[in-house]
């Protein structure tokens, strides 16, 4: 069974999905992290698309969820921290808009959820990747709130980025994600919208857990 949480950058979907998985003792799938690994490969290819697509086929991306952490590997090397840099953030929407990349990542995700119960977060999971998901949520929040959350994450990793820089980055990603031709960011008709702007983290986690528990119990 798969439960999906979609939403724009910084809406809190990844941290919420991770907490939901831990509380309910189910698996967590971070689709954004997979696109970030692909972006890392793109940067290593010096943004040469022809070389990038070759490397995407040749390199191995793997992942697992352990002790509340989604760990991603590129050729068996842990790149979980490397994919969270501002450089990767500045290019991830560009890479994620490529149909070849979306197809590649979608195959990875579908293989992962063949067994067990998963909660996954992303931007188009409920509309394009898992349209038959057991439950769909769409998390939103105002731009400044989202930027402050992302800035806190970056500062915890030693980044010196400013709030203005992060706000510009997120706004640009919103535009790219919403206007791309391949599976644009949008709310599924049957998704439950959760505005996290005024919610505490505990509140948003509880709202989603309360919806999922009856499905797991049945």
**Is 77 a domain residue?**
yes
**Is 218 a domain residue?**
no
pLDDT per position as a tens digit, 196-206 = 998 999 999 99
Average pLDDT over residues 68-73: 92
**Is 7 a domain residue?**
yes
- pLDDT value at residue 160: 87
**Is 34 a domain residue?**
yes
In total, the chain counts a number of residues equal to 218
Q: How far apart are CA 190 and CA 17, in angstroms?
A: 18
- pLDDT value at residue 181: 79
pLDDT > 90 in the chain, percent: 72
Answer yes or no: is pLDDT of 62 > 80: yes
Answer yes or no: is pLDDT of 218 > 80: no
Contact indicator for 170, 146 with CB cutoff of 8 Å: yes
Answer yes or no: is pLDDT of 66 > 90: no
Order of strands across the sheet with 118-122?
27-30, 118-122, 2-6, 135-140, 192-195
Question: How confident is the prediction for the chain on average, in pLDDT?
Answer: 92
Q: 10 falls in which pLDDT band (50, 70, 90)?
A: confident
- pLDDT value at residue 71: 95
Answer yes or no: is pLDDT of 182 > 80: no
Q: How far apart are CA 20 and CA 175, in angstroms?
A: 28
pLDDT per position as a tens digit, 141-161 = 999 999 998 899 889 988 888
Provide the 3-class DSSP secondary structure of residue 208: helix
- pLDDT value at residue 44: 95
Q: 26 falls in which pLDDT band (50, 70, 90)?
A: very high
pLDDT per position as a tens digit, 80-119 = 999 999 899 999 989 998 999 999 999 999 999 988 899 9
Rg (CA), the chain: 16
- Give how many domains the chain has, as a whole number: 1
- pLDDT value at residue 159: 86
Answer yes or no: is pLDDT of 187 > 90: yes
Average pLDDT over residues 56-67: 92
What does DSSP assign to residue 84? G
DSSP secondary structure string for all residues of 88-133: HHHHHHHHHT-HHHHHHHHHHHHHHTTSS-EEEEESSIIIII-TT-
- The domain spanning residue 63 has which CATH number? 3.40.50.300
Find the domain containing 184 and state its range. Answer: 2-213
Q: 176 falls in which pLDDT band (50, 70, 90)?
A: confident
Average pLDDT over residues 31-37: 94
Answer yes or no: is pLDDT of 179 > 90: no
């Amino acid at each position: 069974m798969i439960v999906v949480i979609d939403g724009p950058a910084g809406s809190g979907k990844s941290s919420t999905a991770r907490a939901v998985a831990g509380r309910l003792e189910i698996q967590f799938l971070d689709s954004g992290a997979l696109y970030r690994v692909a972006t890392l490969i793109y940067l290593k290819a010096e943004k040469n698309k022809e070389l990038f697509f070759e490397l995407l086929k040749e390199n191995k991306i793997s992942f697992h969820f352990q002790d509340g952490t989604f760990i991603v590997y590129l050729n068996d090397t842990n790149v979980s921290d490397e994919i969270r840099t501002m450089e990767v953030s500045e290019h991830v929407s560009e890479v994620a808009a490529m149909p070849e990349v979306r197809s590649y990542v979608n195959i990875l995700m579908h293989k992962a959820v063949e067994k067990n119960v998963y909660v996954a977060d992303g931007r188009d999971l409920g509309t394009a990747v898992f349209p038959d998901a057991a439950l769909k949520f769409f998390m939103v929040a105002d731009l400044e709130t989202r930027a402050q959350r992302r800035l806190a994450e970056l500062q915890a990793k030693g980044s010196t980025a400013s709030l203005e820089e992060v706000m510009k980055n997120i706004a640009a990603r919103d535009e790219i994600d919403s206007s791309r031709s391949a599976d644009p960011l949008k709310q599924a008709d049957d998704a439950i919208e959760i505005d996290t702007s005024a919610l505490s983290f505990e509140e948003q986690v509880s709202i989603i857990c309360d919806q999922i528990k009856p499905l797991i119990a049945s």
